[in-house]
Amino acid sequence: MTIAADVDARRIVPHWNLSLVLASIAVSFLGAFTSTQLIVQAKTSRYLSAVIVWSILASLTFGFCSIWCLHFIAMLACELDLPITLNVSLTILSAILAVSFTWLALAFDLVWDHYKKIRQKQAAALRRDSRRTHSLRSGDPDDRFRSSRRSSGVTSSDTSLGLGRFASVRKNRGTTFGDKNPFIATALALYMGFTAHTIVKGFVWSLAITGMHYSGILALNIPHGFCELDVNFVILSAVISWIVCVVGCILLSSMEIRLGQQVLFSIIATTGVASMHFTGMHAANFWSTDLPSETRGYPSALVVAISCIAITTCLAANGLLAHSTTLARNKLAEIIYTRKNLWAAIAQKENAEAAAIARSEFIASASHEIRSPIHQLQGYSDLLARSNLDDESRLLLHAMQDAIRSLSLITTTVLDWSRLEQGEAICRPTAVDVRRLCESVLNVLPGRDEDCDVELLIAVAPDVPDSLFIDETYMHRIIMNLLSNSLKFTSSGHVLLQIKLVDQDMVVTVKDTGNGIPEAFLPDLFEPFKQAQSRGPQRGTGLGLSIVKQLLQKMNGTIDTESKDRNDFPDHSGTIFTATFPVQPAAENRSCHPKLSGNLGLLGVSGSRALEGVGLCCSLYGLETIVLDPRKPVPSDLDYVWSSLEFLRSNQTVFRSLRDREDIITLIPFDDDKALLELIGNSPGSNILPLRRPLMFHKIAPLMTDPSRKAIRPDALSRTTSMSESAETIAAPAKTIMLVEDNKVNQRLGLKMLKTLGYEVIIANDGQEAVDLVIEHADDIDAILMDQSMPVKDGLTATREIREMEADGKLPPRNGRPRPIIAVTAVVGTHAESMCRQAGADDFLPKPLSLSKLRHTLEAFLIDFEDR
């Protein structure tokens, strides 16, 4: 632009202030360097708002300090011999042009790149969801597994804490030249970024910068003067501005955090801006008609104001950067500290899991190794019980059998806890006869001490169906642990197991008159390894009640506890456990258990606590109980009399009067055969009903209501058939059993047990020999007892091969049906039983195995009970 010159005007020759020139360059360099820090901060921000804020600060620093301040401070360095003022409006316009177009040039790419990243993440998330949905529909478990890992932020290349993903995001935010020399990185960035897009963007930005420069020149008010512009130099300055803006667009958009590259860019930018400014100043010629004045130059405060504004802007920006860096550093330190703790916790967790796995494997292995000798003790003690022993020897045998049951119970408890801890226990409801289940629990409970006067009572309500859908193993464990716990802490009185139905829930109540539980211990009662008594004979593993609670949780059940400590209630101590869980009756169900009616008198029963238990059982079956005075005659309106054996032996007159009362049934609990025989003799009478302990009311009630009930014969009073009969008195079933067992001790025991039961025996040492023998003796073998852990070929494989041969017709059936295969193994648990049944086993017998259990199982498969 050229302003027409007056013929009398003189050309003003400027004098350059070198200090101000250097100051302008320093301010420009400071602004350029600060803007690189702000741009890096904007590029590494996660949120759009942060990108906009940091890009505004970068634009303000670069546009205002590096460009605008250099322009005005350098213009102030051009000293004229007249007083010069500034047009405020044009000055502000020039600053706005510099800052606003700089922000548009810088923020456009930053915001657009951030927006593209968001869209890419959304698209990637949609693709993941689509693949996961497809994999779920197609049923590919591997795809589901990979999708679940991706959806949780973990990929195959990540570490356990997602460090790979974090690192990859940080790395992708920069260029690929960050690890090279700053000069090489800058040159490569310029080469790679020199595109039509950056050229056009730099051209638009340069127009604003050029406009800022010449607007600032036009803002100078020269007294009676004007400014003349050289078009050639104006074009040259515009070209320089264009080049500077293109370089700025390229380098700022690819700026790295490396100091050398930032300094190099600041030098290039400052050199380019200064070149553009001084070229533009060379294009300007100032004219005036006034003579030189003593009051020359610009306002004195203008230089200080512009410098202070520039420095303050840079300091504020650096302060914000320092604050942000401090926060980032603290957050990074916190992340590092947290991740170190997480790594330590993960390491501890992995160590704990490894230890738990090792412990479980050890327990499983130890259980197998312990069960084998217990099985041998159990078997030989049962065989010994069939021999002729004197009373003292039989008492010793009973003590040994009780010790075997206690050891077996402890082994089972520890193994149950190990399975629950590993989450291996699975609830599998099947049709279960609750009354038979209660009887099976009594068979594994340890015997009572001779000094203990405890009445064990079992009462299953008459309305409880014969068959219910429950997990038999869970139910067995719950009742067994509750009863063993109560028996352990009860020395007198009674222990009562009561089972009834309330709506669709089964309620199992175990009530005892023991020591009770201190109130302070009740919150920790079901915690593992916690015991109210840590010393004395009552001390156990501390796992039984914890197992009960966990099993009930798996059955969607609950357990409540009421207890009175003996220290607070000496005459009313005891504990009541009430377990409640949902059950479902079996499809085909029947219940023909009688409910009694009438009055029952309690005569001479020692101990009021024992009377309490009998009364609860009688009330469950519909009987009303009355406590009788032994000094008075028995009332005539009674239907039943309950009396103790000890009382009747001491009061023979009372016994004879009861025996003569045929309208009254006298019930006499006993556990001493000899003492009972001494009292009732060989012909006790039809109204005398001895009841063997433990007292199971679902067996007592039918005898009390059966009109054809006959007198109890003395030879029916033995504890079990096996204890009074010798092996020679058992009728031989004339059946052949193949025993598959690799342990020689177990072979001899199994052979002796089967021979005692009257069976012929074929022995196989492993699974392969069993397959060969079953083919060779196909017409002789009626059933197979199959061990599982054996050399050459295990029991599961042998069972599958036998079933496959039967299915293919290679092995003919025995008596028109497949041969029963019964798994007999020390590897116990629901998983082991399930594997055996899946392989083709008909039944599962865990070791230790009693002789009676073996007999009943074989009879169930081989003998028609209707003909017996």
| pLDDT given at position 797 | 93
Residue-wise pLDDT for 646-699, tens only, equals 888 888 888 888 888 888 888 888 887 788 888 887 667 778 888 888 889 888
Confidence grade of residue 284 (pLDDT, cut at 50, 70, 90) = confident
Higher per-residue confidence, 513 vs 448: 513
Rounded alpha-carbon distances, angstroms, from residue 376 to 395, 396, 750, 753:
20, 17, 9, 11
Instruction: Looking at mean pLDDT, say which of 228-242, 291-305, 532-546, 703-717 comes out highest.
Output: 228-242
| pLDDT given at position 804 | 92
* pLDDT at 720 > cutoff 90: no
Higher per-residue confidence, 89 vs 538: 89
Residue-wise pLDDT for 728-749, tens only, equals 444 445 789 999 998 888 898 8
Tokens in use for 43? 């590029």
Instruction: Looking at mean pLDDT, say which of 323-332, 562-571, 752-761 comes out highest.
Output: 752-761
Query: What is the share, in percent, of the chain residues with pLDDT greater than 90?
Result: 11
| pLDDT given at position 256 | 63
Which of 753, 751, 839 is closest to 795 using CA atoms?
839
Instruction: Looking at mean pLDDT, say which of 52-66, 87-101, 156-170, 548-562 comes out highest.
Output: 548-562
Residue-wise pLDDT for 62-111, tens only, equals 777 878 888 878 878 887 878 888 787 888 888 888 788 777 777 777 77
Residue-wise pLDDT for 201-214, tens only, equals 788 778 777 878 88
CATH architecture of 594-723: 3-Layer(aba) Sandwich (3.40)
**pLDDT, average across residues 812-828:** 85
Which parts of 280-372 are beta strand (E)?
Answer: 284-288
- Do 310 and 27 meet the contact criterion of CB atoms below 8 Å apart? yes
Lowest-confidence pick of 554-563, 592-601, 678-687: 678-687
Q: Cα separation of 14 and 387, whole Å?
A: 135
Contacts of 829 (CB under 8 A, 6+ apart): 415, 419, 424
Q: Cα separation of 847 and 854, whole Å?
A: 11
- Do 599 and 640 meet the contact criterion of CB atoms below 8 Å apart? yes
> Residues spanned by CATH 3.30.565.10 within the chain?
426-592
| pLDDT given at position 575 | 92
* pLDDT at 187 > cutoff 70: yes
| pLDDT given at position 352 | 86
> Which residue is associated with the tokens 């197991």?
497
Prior bond to 633 cis, omega within 30? no
| pLDDT given at position 141 | 42
Contacts of 576 (CB under 8 A, 6+ apart): 509, 510, 511, 512, 561, 562, 563
| pLDDT given at position 223 | 84
Q: What angle do CA 294, 299, 305 make, to 5 degrees?
A: 155
CATH architecture of 426-592: 2-Layer Sandwich (3.30)
* pLDDT at 865 > cutoff 70: no
* pLDDT at 799 > cutoff 90: yes
- The conformation of residue 496, written as its DSSP 8-state character, comes to E
| pLDDT given at position 452 | 66
Rounded alpha-carbon distances, angstroms, from residue 134 to 79, 146, 154, 418:
77, 12, 20, 39
Which of 703, 613, 717 is closest to 666 using CA atoms?
703
Lowest-confidence pick of 124-138, 265-279, 525-539: 525-539
> Residues spanned by CATH 3.40.50.2300 within the chain?
328-391+726-868, 594-723
Tokens in use for 518? 């201190």
Task: Please state whether beta strands 574-582 and 505-512 pair in parallel, antiparallel, or not at all (unpaired).
Answer: antiparallel
* Total-model pTM: 0.54
- Do 819 and 783 meet the contact criterion of CB atoms below 8 Å apart? yes
Confidence grade of residue 590 (pLDDT, cut at 50, 70, 90) = low
Residue-wise pLDDT for 780-798, tens only, equals 899 999 998 888 899 999 9
Confidence grade of residue 533 (pLDDT, cut at 50, 70, 90) = low
Tell me yes or no: is domain 328-391+726-868 CATH 3.40.50.2300: yes
Q: Which backbone phi and psi does 79 adopt, to 5 degrees?
A: -85, 125
* pLDDT at 421 > cutoff 70: no
Lowest-confidence pick of 168-182, 204-218, 638-652, 820-834: 168-182
Higher per-residue confidence, 688 vs 127: 688
Partners of 458 in the β-ladder:
497, 696
Taken in order 199, 205, 211, 213, the sign of the CA dihedral is negative
* pLDDT at 508 > cutoff 90: yes
Which parts of 74-233 are beta strand (E)?
Answer: 78-79, 85-86, 220-221, 225-229
* pLDDT at 41 > cutoff 50: yes
- Do 828 and 367 meet the contact criterion of CB atoms below 8 Å apart? yes
Lowest-confidence pick of 254-263, 288-297, 550-559: 254-263
Q: Cα separation of 43 and 46, whole Å?
A: 8
* pLDDT at 149 > cutoff 70: no
Prior bond to 694 cis, omega within 30? yes
Q: Which backbone phi and psi does 639 adopt, to 5 degrees?
A: -100, -30
**pLDDT, average across residues 302-312:** 77
| pLDDT given at position 147 | 41
- Do 438 and 549 meet the contact criterion of CB atoms below 8 Å apart? no
| pLDDT given at position 531 | 65
Helices 300-385 and 18-43, packing angle to 10 deg: 20
Confidence grade of residue 57 (pLDDT, cut at 50, 70, 90) = confident
- The conformation of residue 817, written as its DSSP 8-state character, comes to B
Task: Please state whether beta strands 225-229 and 284-288 pair in parallel, antiparallel, or not at all (unpaired).
Answer: antiparallel
Helices (H) and strands (E) in the chain, counts: 26, 26
Mean pLDDT of the chain: 78
- Do 722 and 757 meet the contact criterion of CB atoms below 8 Å apart? no
Confidence grade of residue 153 (pLDDT, cut at 50, 70, 90) = very low
Query: What is the share, in percent, of the chain residues with pLDDT greater than 70?
Result: 83
- Do 383 and 400 meet the contact criterion of CB atoms below 8 Å apart? no
